[in-house]
């Protein structure tokens, strides 16, 4: 499956789209599983919400846009899509790639 | 002078961890007039493993009636019985003075907790003899409520504390990374409470992610003693559908009649007396580990490494009724037909179609951790610890409640740390110490040619999967230990491809790897030495529970030559330690001479 990811580097303010090819036919995968696959096998530099996650749709912090709609990466199944286009949500500033700063904590 | 520290915060008490132990420690210290900063890796009050809880928790019925005024509490399960059960469930490895603190202080902290729960709108269902069933999020909402009602507590979220700061032999702060910005934060404090949870090292987990043993590892590096590291609790956890891996739906569906089968479809026979244990209490976790784990250890596991639950022995009507009852009951907390945020439709189909479901044993809780006394002191001045990050309360096997432990230990740690702060002068660690910690964090960005951080973390997990299986054996433990020790050599040369500090998962993996490598090493070393089975440490090559030779803790302390191991007998206050041997961990419980009676029957059909 073709996976297109909106990327952003805060240090240079460069924004680009990167494409990955992920085999989603071997097992059923969520969008989080797809991102994990990319990080482990294709590109460890990818930033997506992954710290202290519940992975079962209750902490609600792994929110992102999947083909233009706001979803949780951990419960959104990839099987239903022909290709994936992943982008950060637009309601908060982007920290890097798919990660937005949605916490009230300021530093 | 140039510095690597991006921000410095001064406070009186630093509490590390944003789940129940951290929030209660912060709350009671704040109530005592201490200035508190709570630092959480996730969202304060909603971080850590409490949100993943799937069952209930409770205290003794006598205290429930007398202290909490709960009319429905059953006083026949009294304080003495709870104490008796906890010690026996620990395979006599619990520290009896710490168990006493759990029994005595639980109803006290619950007085406040239940009020927060009421104001937070948590939905609790009463269970016998004196307990509460709810979803993990409903157990966490009261913690968020407590923080909301106590604005004096400062919070810093999404921050991983990495190492403690010392002034001579006293803990006076810590250094961490703010995950979003990548900034290095220094915190100066009079005292520190570590309440950051345990270590889940294996790949199949039903906890939140990133339980990388930060608390035990930073305490160890500061000179504290770690113990009981080989004991980890596991229970039936989803392997399929693969996208639901880690869900605990199998455990929740355990009361729908089923039989265990292996990869060939042959029944895994559970002995009748063990079945009795399983039906009546939370011991079903241990029973499942023993029988499912043994089948897998014999090479009879399925393609995902689990055993199978075959529901075909129940009629369609039985299954439909049970599933619908479950959905109805759980719709108090989750969308109907869902568990947490996941639809159960495909699982429902498999059960109704008599399709055997492959189920694994996922880790939930680590019994080992930082050695404490009943005042939550670690033996290092200014350093306290509470909750899963500690050891002593549950010994070799936790049947009692982690949720209760986090609350009563958090309360005690907060009170004791506040009293300490009131009488202590503020002292600062030398700047060079904080700079050194920061340098150790930042050097990863300059490394070249080492292993990639994500791959490194994966290698640690694989080694722990081999050596720290539910049913273990000496050869695998040794091989896994060799792998971990080889990895340890490469830990400092881990290389990051991404050079931005902002939300850098490679960097977090590299920093966490130091902690998981340490916890893995100590767990494997203790598991190798413990040539017997006890609680959640079950060895196929040494199945016997051997009280005569192994009724002690394996302690670890940092020395110049690495972690020094020693043994220590459990503290006895009331119940003398047993002698002799038992054939295996199940026979230990079914032995009538143990006189074990939890009488903790959960009525699921209220």
CA distance B392 to chain A (A): 26
Q: Indicate if B440 and B334 belong to the same structural domain.
A: no
**Mean pLDDT, residues B11-24:** 98
Nearest residue on chain A to B156, alpha-carbon basis: A105
Q: Using DSSP, state whether A17 is helix, strand or coil.
A: strand
Of B363, B383, B404, which residue sits at a domain end? B363
Which of B381, B380, B379, B376 lies closest to B406, judged by CA? B376
Strands of A10-75 (E only): list them.
14-21, 63-66, 69-72
Range of the domain at A54: 2-100
Q: What is the pLDDT of residue B280?
A: 62
Which of B321, B320, B301 lies closest to B260, judged by CA? B301
Of B537, B572, B595, which residue sits at a domain end? B537
- Using pLDDT thresholds of 50, 70 and 90, give the confidence band for residue B606: very low
CA distance A4 to chain B (A): 19
* Predicted confidence (pLDDT) at residue B447 exceeds the cutoff of 80: yes
The answer to whether the CB of B232 falls within 8 A of the CB of B523 is yes
- Using pLDDT thresholds of 50, 70 and 90, give the confidence band for residue B277: confident
Burial tier of B328 (Cβ tally within 10 Å: 0-12, 13-18, 19+): exposed
Q: How far apart are CA B148 and CA B18, in angstroms?
A: 13
The answer to whether B41 contacts chain A (CB < 8 Å) is: yes
- Cis peptide, bond prior to residue B323, ω within 30 of zero: no
Number of A–B residue contacts, CB under 8 Å: 125
- Look at residue A7 and tell me if it is in a domain: yes
Distance of CA B111 to the CA centre of its chain: 24
**Mean pLDDT, residues B248-273:** 94
- How many of the other CB atoms lie within 10 Å of CB of A23? 9
- Look at residue B455 and tell me if it is in a domain: yes
- Look at residue B372 and tell me if it is in a domain: no
Q: What is the pLDDT of residue B603?
A: 42
CA distance A45 to chain B (A): 5
Closest CB to B454 among A28, A39, A57: A39
Helix (H) or strand (E) holding B165: strand B159-167
Torsion angle, alpha carbons of B281, B284, B287, B288, to 10:
180
- How many of the other CB atoms lie within 10 Å of CB of A12? 8
Tell me the CATH number at B481.
1.20.58.100
- Look at residue A6 and tell me if it is in a domain: yes
- Using pLDDT thresholds of 50, 70 and 90, give the confidence band for residue B54: confident
Q: What is the pLDDT of residue B604?
A: 39
Find residues 496-525 of chain B whose CB sits inside 8 Å of chain A.
497-500, 502-506, 508
Q: Indicate if B341 and B458 belong to the same structural domain.
A: no
Q: How far apart are CA A64 and CA A73, in angstroms?
A: 7
Distance of CA B364 to the CA centre of its chain: 6
Q: How far apart are CA B130 and CA B73, in angstroms?
A: 5
- Answer whether A47 sits within 8 Å of B208, measured CB to CB: no
Tell me the CATH number at A93.
3.10.20.30
Nearest residue on chain B to A39, alpha-carbon basis: B454
CA distance B48 to chain A (A): 7
Range of the domain at B439: 434-537
Q: Indicate if B354 and B448 belong to the same structural domain.
A: no
Angle (nearest 5°) at CA B228 between B223 and B233: 130
Angle between helices B96-120 and B136-149 (to 10 degrees): 80
- Look at residue A92 and tell me if it is in a domain: yes
- DSSP at B179: T
**Mean pLDDT, residues B240-254:** 95
* pLDDT tens sequence across B133-181: 999 999 999 999 999 999 999 999 999 999 999 999 999 999 999 999 9
- Answer whether B505 sits within 8 Å of A55, measured CB to CB: no
Torsion angle, alpha carbons of A81, A83, A88, A91, to 10:
-50
- Look at residue A106 and tell me if it is in a domain: no
Query: How many domains are contained in chain A?
Result: 1
Strand order of the β-sheet with B226-227 is: B390-391, B369-371, B226-227, B553-559, B562-568
- Look at residue A40 and tell me if it is in a domain: yes
The answer to whether B43 contacts chain A (CB < 8 Å) is: yes
Closest CB to A95 among B52, B499, B503: B503
- Look at residue A64 and tell me if it is in a domain: yes
Query: How many domains are contained in chain B?
Result: 2
- DSSP at B298: I
Closest CB to B241 among A28, A44, A101: A28
Nearest residue on chain A to B50, alpha-carbon basis: A54
Q: Indicate if B343 and B441 belong to the same structural domain.
A: no
CA distance B241 to chain A (A): 7
- Look at residue B277 and tell me if it is in a domain: yes
- Using pLDDT thresholds of 50, 70 and 90, give the confidence band for residue A105: very low
Helix (H) or strand (E) holding B466: helix B453-467
Of B363, B393, B424, which residue sits at a domain end? B363
Find residues 235-254 of chain B whose CB sits inside 8 Å of chain A.
241-244, 246-247
The answer to whether B137 contacts chain A (CB < 8 Å) is: yes
Nearest residue on chain B to A78, alpha-carbon basis: B243
A chain contacts of residue B505, beta-carbon cutoff 8 Å:
39, 44, 46-48, 50-51
Task: Decide the pairing of beta strands A63-66 and A84-87.
Answer: antiparallel
Chain A contacts to B (CB-CB under 8 A): 9-11, 27-30, 33, 39-40, 44-48, 50-59, 61, 72, 74-75, 77, 95-97, 99, 101, 103, 105, 107
Q: What is the pLDDT of residue A103?
A: 60
Alpha-carbon distance values, B530 to B523, B526, B539, B584, B586 (Å): 11, 6, 9, 14, 18
More confident residue, B254 or B602: B254
Tell me the CATH number at B286.
3.90.700
Q: Indicate if B243 and B359 belong to the same structural domain.
A: yes
* Predicted confidence (pLDDT) at residue B212 exceeds the cutoff of 50: yes
Angle (nearest 5°) at CA B514 between B396 and B213: 35
- Using pLDDT thresholds of 50, 70 and 90, give the confidence band for residue B55: confident
B chain contacts of residue A28, beta-carbon cutoff 8 Å:
241-243
Which of B33, B55, B82, B24 lies closest to B574, judged by CA? B82
Closest CB to B503 among A27, A53, A96: A96
- Look at residue B429 and tell me if it is in a domain: no
* pLDDT tens sequence across B341-377: 999 999 999 999 999 999 999 999 999 999 999 999 9
- Look at residue B321 and tell me if it is in a domain: yes
Torsion angle, alpha carbons of A53, A55, A60, A63, to 10:
90
* pLDDT tens sequence across B548-603: 999 999 999 999 999 999 999 999 999 999 999 999 999 999 999 999 988 655 44
- Look at residue A105 and tell me if it is in a domain: no
Alpha-carbon distance values, B109 to B67, B498, B523, B557 (Å): 11, 45, 32, 32
């Amino acid at each position: 499956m073709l996976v297109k990811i909106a990327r952003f580097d805060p240090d240079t303010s460069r924004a680009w789209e990167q494409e990955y090819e992920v085999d989603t036919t071997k097992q059923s995968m969520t969008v989080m599983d797809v991102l994990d696959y990319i990080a482990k096998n294709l590109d460890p530099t990818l930033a997506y919400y992954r710290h202290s996650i519940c992975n079962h749709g209750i902490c609600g912090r792994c929110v992102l846009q999947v083909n233009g709609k706001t979803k949780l990466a951990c419960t959104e199944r990839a099987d239903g899509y022909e290709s994936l286009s992943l982008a950060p949500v637009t309601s908060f500033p982007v920290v890097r790639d798919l990660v937005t700063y949605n916490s009230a904590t300021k530093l | 002078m140039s510095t690597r520290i991006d921000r410095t915060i001064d406070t009186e008490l630093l509490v590390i961890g944003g789940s129940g132990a951290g929030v209660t420690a912060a709350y009671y210290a704040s109530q005592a007039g201490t200035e508190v900063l709570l630092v959480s890796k996730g969202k304060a009050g909603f971080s850590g493993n409490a949100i993943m809880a799937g069952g209930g928790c409770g205290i003794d019925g006598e205290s429930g009636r007398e202290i909490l005024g709960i009319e429905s509490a059953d006083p026949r399960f009294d304080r003495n019985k709870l104490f008796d059960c906890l010690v026996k469930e620990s395979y006599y490895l619990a520290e009896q003075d710490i168990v006493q603190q759990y029994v005595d202080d639980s109803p006290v902290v619950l007085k406040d907790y239940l009020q927060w729960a009421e104001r937070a709108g948590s939905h609790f269902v009463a269970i016998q003899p004196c307990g509460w069933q709810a979803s993990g999020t409903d157990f966490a909402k009261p913690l968020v409520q407590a923080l909301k009602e106590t604005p004096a507590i400062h919070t810093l979220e999404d921050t991983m504390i990495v190492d403690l700061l010392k002034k001579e032999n006293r803990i006076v702060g810590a250094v961490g990374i703010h995950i979003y910005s990548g900034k290095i934060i220094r915190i100066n404090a009079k005292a520190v409470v570590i309440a950051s949870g345990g270590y889940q090292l294996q790949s199949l987990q039903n906890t939140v992610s990133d339980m990388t043993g930060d608390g035990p590892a930073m305490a160890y590096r500061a000179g504290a003693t770690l113990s009981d590291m080989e004991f980890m609790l596991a229970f039936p956890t989803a392997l399929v559908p693969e996208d639901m891996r880690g869900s605990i739906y199998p455990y929740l569906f355990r009361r729908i009649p089923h039989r265990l089968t292996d990869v060939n479809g042959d029944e895994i026979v559970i002995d009748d007396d063990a079945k009795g244990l399983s039906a009546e209490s939370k011991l079903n976790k241990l029973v499942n580990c023993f029988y499912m784990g043994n089948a897998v250890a014999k090479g009879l596991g399925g393609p995902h490494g689990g055993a199978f639950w075959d529901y075909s022995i129940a009629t369609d009507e039985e299954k439909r009724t049970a599933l619908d009852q479950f959905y109805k009951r759980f719709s108090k907390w989750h969308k109907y037909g869902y568990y947490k945020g996941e639809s159960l439709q495909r699982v429902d189909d498999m059960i109704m179609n008599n399709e055997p479901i492959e189920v694994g044993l996922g880790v939930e809780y680590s019994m080992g951790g930082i050695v404490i006394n009943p005042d939550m002191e670690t033996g290092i001045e200014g350093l306290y610890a509470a909750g899963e990050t500690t050891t002593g309360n549950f010994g070799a096997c936790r049947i009692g409640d982690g949720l209760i432990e986090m609350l009563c230990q958090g309360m005690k740690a907060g009170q004791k740390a506040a009293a300490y702060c009131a009488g202590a002068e503020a002292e600062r660690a030398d700047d060079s110490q904080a700079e050194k910690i920061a340098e150790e964090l930042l050097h990863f960005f300059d490394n070249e040619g080492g292993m990639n951080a994500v791959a490194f973390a994966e290698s640690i997990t694989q080694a722990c999967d081999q050596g720290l299986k539910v049913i273990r054996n000496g050869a695998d433990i040794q091989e896994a230990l060799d792998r971990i020790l080889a990895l340890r050599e490469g830990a400092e040369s881990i290389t990051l491809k991404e050079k931005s500090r902002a939300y850098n998962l490679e960097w977090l993996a590299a920093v966490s790897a130091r902690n998981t490598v340490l916890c893995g090493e100590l767990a494997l070393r203790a598991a190798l030495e413990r040539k017997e089975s006890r609680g959640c440490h079950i060895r196929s090559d040494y199945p016997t529970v051997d009280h005569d030779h192994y009724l002690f803790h394996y302690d670890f302390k940092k020395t110049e030559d690495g972690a020094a191991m020693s043994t220590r007998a459990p503290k006895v206050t009331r119940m003398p330690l047993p002698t002799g041997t038992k054939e295996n961990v199940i026979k230990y419980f079914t032995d009538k001479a143990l006189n074990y009676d939890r009488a903790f029957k959960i009525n699921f059909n209220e």
